[in-house]
Amino acid sequence: MKATILIEQFDNGISIKWSDPDMEEDPHDIVALDRDKAQAIGEMIFEDIKHLMDSELVCIVKMNIEYQPIKED
């Protein structure tokens, strides 16, 4: 299972856009204020982990993280 999470920062919080590169699931977006942004990102990632564990009947999941800056012109 792969996911792409695009995070955009604003003055008072962030927007988080989750998508599945394999197009097996519909994309979804959330907005979090500064005080909630770490929890919102963590909840989105854990939702994926829980879904994978439940669907594959496993109790161990490996997660690879690659950060890529997006520079706007």
Residue 23 sits in which domain range?
4-56
Has residue 62 been placed in a domain?
no
Has residue 68 been placed in a domain?
no
Nearest to 8, CA basis, from 35, 32, 43 = 32
Q: Which pLDDT value is given to residue 25?
A: 80
Has residue 46 been placed in a domain?
yes
Has residue 45 been placed in a domain?
yes
Query: How many domains is the chain built from?
Result: 1
Has residue 65 been placed in a domain?
no
User: In the β-sheet with 28-33, what is the strand arrangement from edge to edge?
Assistant: 4-9, 13-19, 28-33
Q: Which pLDDT value is given to residue 70?
A: 94
pTM score: 0.84
Tens digit of each residue's pLDDT (9 = 90 or more) over 51-70? 999 999 999 999 999 999 99
Has residue 40 been placed in a domain?
yes
* DSSP letter, residue 34: G
Has residue 12 been placed in a domain?
yes
pLDDT in single tens digits along all 73 residues of the chain = 889 999 999 999 999 999 988 877 888 999 999 999 999 999 999 999 999 999 999 999 999 999 999 998 7
Has residue 25 been placed in a domain?
yes
> What are the φ/ψ torsions at residue 27 (nearest 5 degrees)?
-70, 155
User: Counting runs of H as helices and runs of E as strands, what totals does the chain give?
Assistant: 1, 3
